Chain A
């Protein structure tokens, strides 16, 4: 079985300050992990992925995440928030099998001007 816990349902930061979105996972095998972003009334876009290669993963738009097996975490960070980063972010785990992805409940990122 696998599960994902996103530790914050809402995160609010000021424009230009760092962003940290926290994610913990549970898995009985070596997982693949993803962060997806969903802008209002849009589909889901892949930000970055971890698939057992480098533990520090760089994604689009300046985001990165670090896979820490000992802490079962995959937190998403960005050094400097931009207004366009305001969106819903989902942490996702999969074992790569046919039965798809397991989603966290999402973190709503608010950017204050």
Chain B
């Protein structure tokens, strides 16, 4: 059972470039999340989704976009990369209301130069 899979693991972007971080889960979870982790700051919620076709902003959504066309996939798009987006990004999923435990991917370390 693969759980939550993120790709790529590492990426270096130049300022102004775009990229998509991929996230796939095989647990048939309804809820999916994108977090960013910065040193000493814990994890901050970027976007989340409660099911295919439904997404909503989290605490720090500026500079990012998401889509959820299937239950399994929840890609995160950076349109115009900025140095402030240098971070480690984690995708997570959980079954839904009443099942609060979340499962995390291994993370994507992104550097914008």
- A100 interface hit (Cβ, 8 Å): yes
Chain B residues lying within 8 Å of A46, measured Cβ to Cβ, are 101-103
Contact with A along B77-113 (1 / 0, CB 8 A): 0000000000000101000011111111111000000
The number of residues on chain B lying at the interface, defined by a beta carbon within 8 Å of a beta carbon of chain A, is: 26
- A71 interface hit (Cβ, 8 Å): no
B35, B41, B97, B106: the one contacting A96 at CB < 8 Å is B97
Interface residues of B in 28-52 (CB under 8 A from A): 31, 33, 35, 40-45, 48, 50
Contact of A98 with B97 at beta-carbon distance under 8 Å, contacts A42-B106, A43-B105 already known: yes
B42, B90, B104: the one contacting A106 at CB < 8 Å is B42
Interface residues of A in 63-89 (CB under 8 A from B): none
Interface residues of A in 84-110 (CB under 8 A from B): 90, 94, 96-101, 103-106
Q: In the bound complex, how far is the Cα of B94 from the Cα of A97, in angstroms? A: 11
B42, B43, B100: the one contacting A94 at CB < 8 Å is B100
Q: Are A100 and B48 in contact (CB under 8 A)?
A: yes
Secondary structure of the A contact surface, majority rule: loop
The number of residues on chain A lying at the interface, defined by a beta carbon within 8 Å of a beta carbon of chain B, is: 23
Chain B residues lying within 8 Å of A104, measured Cβ to Cβ, are 42
Q: In the bound complex, how far is the Cα of B106 from the Cα of A96, in angstroms? A: 23
Q: Are B43 and A90 in contact (CB under 8 A)?
A: yes
Contact of A99 with B58 at beta-carbon distance under 8 Å, contacts A34-B101, A104-B42 already known: yes
Q: Are A96 and B40 in contact (CB under 8 A)?
A: no
Q: Are A43 and B40 in contact (CB under 8 A)?
A: no
Known interface pairs A43-B105, A101-B102; 10 further A-B residue pairs with C-beta atoms within 8 A, sorted by A's residue number: A34-B101, A94-B100, A96-B99, A96-B100, A98-B48, A100-B58, A101-B33, A101-B92, A105-B40, A106-B40
Give chain B's interface residues, CB within 8 Å of chain A.
Answer: 31, 33, 35, 40-45, 48, 50, 56, 58, 90, 92, 97-107
Q: Which 4 A-B pairs have the closest CB atoms?
A: A103-B42, A32-B100, A43-B106, A44-B104
Give chain A's interface residues, CB within 8 Å of chain B.
Answer: 9, 32, 34, 36, 42-46, 49, 51, 90, 94, 96-101, 103-106
